Amino acid sequence: MPVFARAPLAFERGEGCWLIAENGDRYLDFGSGVAVNALGHAHPHLVEALKTQAEAVWHVSNLYRIPGGERLAQRLCEASFADVVFFCNSGAEALEASIKLARKHFAHNGQPERYRLITFEGAFHGRTLATIAAGGQQKYIEGFGPKVDGFDQVPFGDLEAVKAAIGPETAGVLVEPLQGEGGVRAVPPATMRALRQICDDNDLLLVVDEVQTGVGRTGKLFAHEHSGVTPDVMALAKGIGGGFPLGACLATREAADGMTAGVHGSTFGGNPLAMAVGNAVLDVVLEPGFLENVSRMGLLLKQKLAGVVDSHPDLLADVRGEGLLTGLKCRVPNTEVAGALRDAKLLTVGAGDNVVRLIPPLIVTEAELDEAVSRLEAGLSKLEQRSAAE
């Protein structure tokens, strides 16, 4: 179905931060398949883990124990606020599980009327019926029948609006600590702390969507760590599978108290192939020094991008982001900028608010950052020449 506006490009293979097209052209991948290829392409440790598991067993269903999943869940819990994990196959499914968990928590505790979540403008939570309602973007909701009930959207970062939106039916607050699709917009740490306080004061669950920001993308294992607060529930996907479809819903034991045998499920979720790759991703991301290096590369990239913004004030307005989730706010349509960069063989991803995202694999080197900047300069100069000629 033609639901994607695809670029006329196909890649044959990848190596680290590079993608090689059918004609042999080498593209520097600063899109990472939309923040998915956390360890780049064909990372030897991930390839080895997948091959080894493929030769053992692919799928057994959740009728049986899956030791790799038990291990991955335990490691995720040890590295986070969580006590329990549900595995699924995508971000939207991780959000569906989080939304259902929040509703079930209150139903389980005798308050079934509390099913509503407060969400924020600019949010993106996926493309299922519930997650388009949670995201609140009209262009995704229109034409798909009645909008799923249970989401109250307030302006981005507006704490007074959050307080005003709380009613007898409110179950929690759902927030991306840093909006990715929404335009690389970070919730200030003080606002995250205030949201935690509001949730505590009103017996609400704080649910964070870290599908894009999680697993090292912002220089911390999870982006909420920048604010020092812990959520009750967290959705993960994208980077946690390094390119293998994998999502997860993490929660405290208390928040997940309604999630008893039979109330939720998934056929594929947490299958042995996905669990092997998820564990292999964690092996690398949890290595001492890995996250520090992501922070360092993120800082360097931001500094270099600030220089690029300064030298192209007619095309670019500012640089934003945290760690290796960075964005350039454009003064011309972001699609034109991303197109010009693609012509210069630098892959990026558009975002809302007229932003172009630069989200390289977390293993990017300083030399690759410099190469990206020189391709950026080349692409932007071409764009300037083109507009001068018009």
Give bridge partners of residue 54 from the DSSP assignment.
none
Q: CB nearer to ligand PLP: give 209 or 371.
A: 209
Asked if 322 is part of the footprint of ligand PLP (rule: CB under 6 A), the reply reads no
Q: CB nearer to ligand PLP: give 50 or 237.
A: 237
Contacting residue, 104, 105, 125, 224, with ligand PLP by CB under 6 A: 125
379 is in an annotated binding site: no
The two structure tokens encoding residue 293: 């290096």
Contacting residue, 19, 237, 256, 277, with ligand PLP by CB under 6 A: 237
Contacting residue, 212, 218, 252, 334, with ligand PLP by CB under 6 A: 212
91 is in an annotated binding site: yes
Q: Give the chain's end-to-end CA distance (angstroms, integer).
A: 36
87 CB-near residues (< 8 Å, 6+ apart): 69, 72, 73, 246, 247, 248, 266, 269, 270, 274, 275
Asked if 126 is part of the footprint of ligand PLP (rule: CB under 6 A), the reply reads yes
Give me the least distance between CB of 330 and ligand PLP, in Å please. 20
Q: Where are the beta strands (DSSP E) in the chain?
A: 11-15, 18-21, 26-29, 84-88, 116-120, 151-154, 170-175, 178-179, 185-186, 205-209, 233-236, 247-251, 316-322, 325-330, 346-347, 349-351, 355-358
267 is in an annotated binding site: yes
65 is in an annotated binding site: no
Torsion of CA 115, 121, 126, 128, to 10 degrees: 50
The two structure tokens encoding residue 159: 């704490």
Q: CB nearer to ligand PLP: give 336 or 353.
A: 353
Asked if 181 is part of the footprint of ligand PLP (rule: CB under 6 A), the reply reads yes
Q: Which one of 91-99, 302-310, 335-343, 349-357 is the stretch in contact with ligand PLP (CB under 6 A)? A: 91-99
Asked if 120 is part of the footprint of ligand PLP (rule: CB under 6 A), the reply reads no
What is the helix (H) or strand (E) element at residue 136, kind and residue range?
A: none
* Amino acid, res. 212: Q
Binding mask 238-257 for ligand PLP (x = CB under 6 A): x-------------------
3-state class (DSSP) for residue 301 = helix
3-state class (DSSP) for residue 41 = strand
Residue 330 DSSP symbol? E
Asked if 224 is part of the footprint of ligand PLP (rule: CB under 6 A), the reply reads no
Give me the least distance between CB of 209 and ligand PLP, in Å please. 5
**Dist CA 28 CA 120 (whole Å):** 33
Which residue's beta carbon is nearest to the bound ligand PLP? 91
Give me the least distance between CB of 208 and ligand PLP, in Å please. 10
Asked if 115 is part of the footprint of ligand PLP (rule: CB under 6 A), the reply reads no
135 is in an annotated binding site: no
Asked if 372 is part of the footprint of ligand PLP (rule: CB under 6 A), the reply reads no
Q: Which one of 173-181, 215-223, 256-264, 328-336 is the stretch in contact with ligand PLP (CB under 6 A)? A: 173-181
For tokens 């124990």, the residue is 65
Q: CB nearer to ligand PLP: give 218 or 380.
A: 218
Buried b (16+ CB within 10 A) or exposed e, 313-328: eebbeebbbbbbbbbb
Give bridge partners of residue 321 from the DSSP assignment.
326
Q: CB nearer to ligand PLP: give 91 or 321.
A: 91
On whether the CB atoms of residues 38 and 241 are closer than 8 A, the answer is no
**Dist CA 87 CA 94 (whole Å):** 8
Contacting residue, 124, 151, 222, 244, with ligand PLP by CB under 6 A: 124
The two structure tokens encoding residue 173: 């607050």
Asked if 97 is part of the footprint of ligand PLP (rule: CB under 6 A), the reply reads no
Asked if 362 is part of the footprint of ligand PLP (rule: CB under 6 A), the reply reads no
* Cα–Cα separations (whole angstroms), residue 48 to 55, 197, 220, 280: 11, 45, 26, 9
Q: Which one of 38-46, 207-215, 270-278, 366-374 is the stretch in contact with ligand PLP (CB under 6 A)? A: 207-215
Asked if 236 is part of the footprint of ligand PLP (rule: CB under 6 A), the reply reads no
If one counts every other C-beta atom within 10 angstroms of the C-beta of residue 64, the result is 7
Binding residues: 91-92, 124, 127, 209-212, 266-267
Binding residues for N(2)-acetyl-L-ornithine: 127, 266
Residues that bind ligand PLP (CB under 6 A): 90-92, 95, 124-126, 176, 180-181, 209, 211-212, 237-238
